[in-house]
Amino acid sequence: MYSFSWSHLGRRALMLGLVGSALTGLAGCMSSGDERTVGVSQGYAVPGRPTGIAPTGNIMTNNPTYQWTPPAGGADTYRLWVDDGSAPHVIDEVFTEAAAGCVGGVGTCSVTASTTIAGGVGYWWVLGTNGDGDGQWSAGVSFTYAQNLVATLISPTGTIVDSTPTYSWNALVGGSTYRLYVSDPVGGFGYVDQTFTAAAAGCASGMGVCSVTPVTVLNPGAGTWWIQTNGGGGQWSSGMSYNLDNTCPGGCDDGQPCTDDVCDPMVGCVSTSDATNTCDDGNACTTGDQCNARGICLASDYNSCRVTTLGPTGNDVGQSPTFTWQGIAGVTTYRLYAIDGQNLGSLTGGAPAVDTQVTAAAAGCPGGVGTCSFAPPVTFAPGRAAFWVQTPPFVDGEQSGYQHGPWSSQLDFTNGISTRPVGLTPTGVQGTQTPTYTWSPIVGSGTTYMLWVSNAAGTTLYTEEVSENAVGCAGGSGTCSLTPAMAIPTGSNYWWVQANPHVGIYSAQGLWSTGVNFTSP
């Protein structure tokens, strides 16, 4: 059964009473006996959106006055909702427009809630309501109640020697300004009284540590300092005491053996270099340590730790060699320097094949115990190569004006040459003293060959180095052939040939062929 009635709720509306059990046509929205009031607008509308005015920004009271601009035409009532720094929904109160002082939407609405707020960052909103229903919530307005924003001080504290110290404290979320207030034993309270923005104190985010260094010089003696957050009305920190004692009552010692330390009654300890002092640079590889005019401890002998190199050595060690040397107690860093036939380093003013610093740990000999081993990621050019290892104190090879540690002895090796030429002729009894020497070449291009002829007693009779093109076997193809003009003396003789794949001061000296015997007429 349905019944209808009219009602006035400040605005004209239709009251629809729904009674009885035959309500299934309302999709189960109401149960038997329910009654709902449905506002039906007859030329009226819900209130517009209010605009929040205050509080905003930093506030110094826990019970502020909330102000807003009412919508056109006003509202019957206004609902105030507040979240504070501790929790949401701490205030939810309804005020008539008369209580807010803005009847009919005229003037500024202003109320004071019955509930106080906690400190920190908060937000508030207001909603207008009339007989046609609720309007829109205003935009949220943020505020920071700074009453409980108390800074925690860090330093200076205790005995200090700096008369213009840096003051530091923990930053606060919501802290926009900080007032530094210092009581000085001579200047009294307010001897320093300066306000700094959070940005100027290096803590604009409200996180981390704020710090400032005023130029005011403190007087010796006991003093106290405080920080007030967010200006007048903000909370003061607890005081932190200090004692400026720059008369060095305990003496001066900066812990550096190469300086003389004295006490200046105005600035405290002063250290000056003294080249006559003795010292120990802490390096196991140096002796004769002495202070210099700059207050640095330097040694006069850097040769106490000379590395003994172990390998590689010999012929054909491969083109990716592993370098080994004996570790030295106390040495933590070594310098490895290696050259090959193409990368001759300081011998020609160019780059070496390897020039790198290697820690003892990376070389597998921490503390200088055992054998150090390091395989650089470098492919060496075929042929002859050599390497050295340098020890501290300086192994960078760059610091001009400083002494460097000793280099190891040079250790030579060859790599990448696994074949040797094969001598063909002359062999046996010859019919001429100027025979033609022939041999099979090695594979590859750019090779030179060294011919060596000696008598049976081992005395060298003839040597000549020739290019592969000159002997007709370029690129390692065909048969190499050379006919020297020099006559070989009568008797039993031997000859060999060596392949040298690269030319230069460190050319690749390859393997010698097997000696071939012949008899000169």
441-481 tens-digit pLDDT? 886 666 788 999 999 999 999 999 999 899 999 878 899 99
Q: Print the SS3 string covering 384-450.
A: EEEEEEECCCCCCCCCCCCCCCCECCCEEEEECCCCCCEEEECCEECCCCCCCEEEECCCCCCCEEE
Q: Kindly state the helix (H) or strand (E) to which residue 83 belongs, with its residue range.
A: strand 77-83
pLDDT tens digits, 145-194: 866 688 999 999 998 888 899 999 999 887 888 999 999 999 899 899 99
- Where is pLDDT greater, at 357 or 438? 438
Q: What is the pLDDT of residue 345?
A: 67
DSSP class of 147: G
Token output for 3:
């019944």
The whole-model pTM stands at 0.35
C-beta separation of 425 from 438 below 8 A: yes
* CA 292 from centre of chain: 34
- Residue among 58, 84, 54, 51 at smallest CA distance from 66: 54
Please report, as a single letter, which amino acid is at residue 197.
T
Kindly state the percentage of the chain with pLDDT values over 90.
Answer: 46
Name 212's bridge partners: 167
- Residue among 130, 7, 120, 14 at smallest CA distance from 70: 130
pLDDT tens digits, 209-254: 999 999 999 998 899 999 998 776 678 899 999 988 766 656 677 7
Mean pLDDT, rounded, of the chain: 81
Cα distance between residue 171 and residue 174, in whole Å: 9
Please report, as a single letter, which amino acid is at residue 11.
R
- The alpha carbon torsion through 271, 272, 275, 281 (nearest 10 deg) reads 40
Task: Specify the pairing of strand 448-455 against strand 460-467.
Answer: antiparallel
**Between vectors from CA 115 to CA 114 and to CA 116, what angle results, nearest 5°?**
125
Cα distance between residue 254 and residue 271, in whole Å: 7
Lowest mean pLDDT, pick from 65-69, 189-193, 339-343 = 339-343
Cα distance between residue 497 and residue 510, in whole Å: 10
C-beta separation of 97 from 77 below 8 A: yes
* Strand, helix or coil for residue 482: strand
pLDDT tens digits, 351-396: 888 999 899 999 999 877 899 999 999 988 766 788 999 886 554 4
* Strand, helix or coil for residue 367: helix
Across 100-109, 299-308, 499-508, the highest mean pLDDT is recorded for 100-109
C-beta separation of 449 from 497 below 8 A: yes
C-beta separation of 141 from 55 below 8 A: yes
Token output for 254:
């900066």
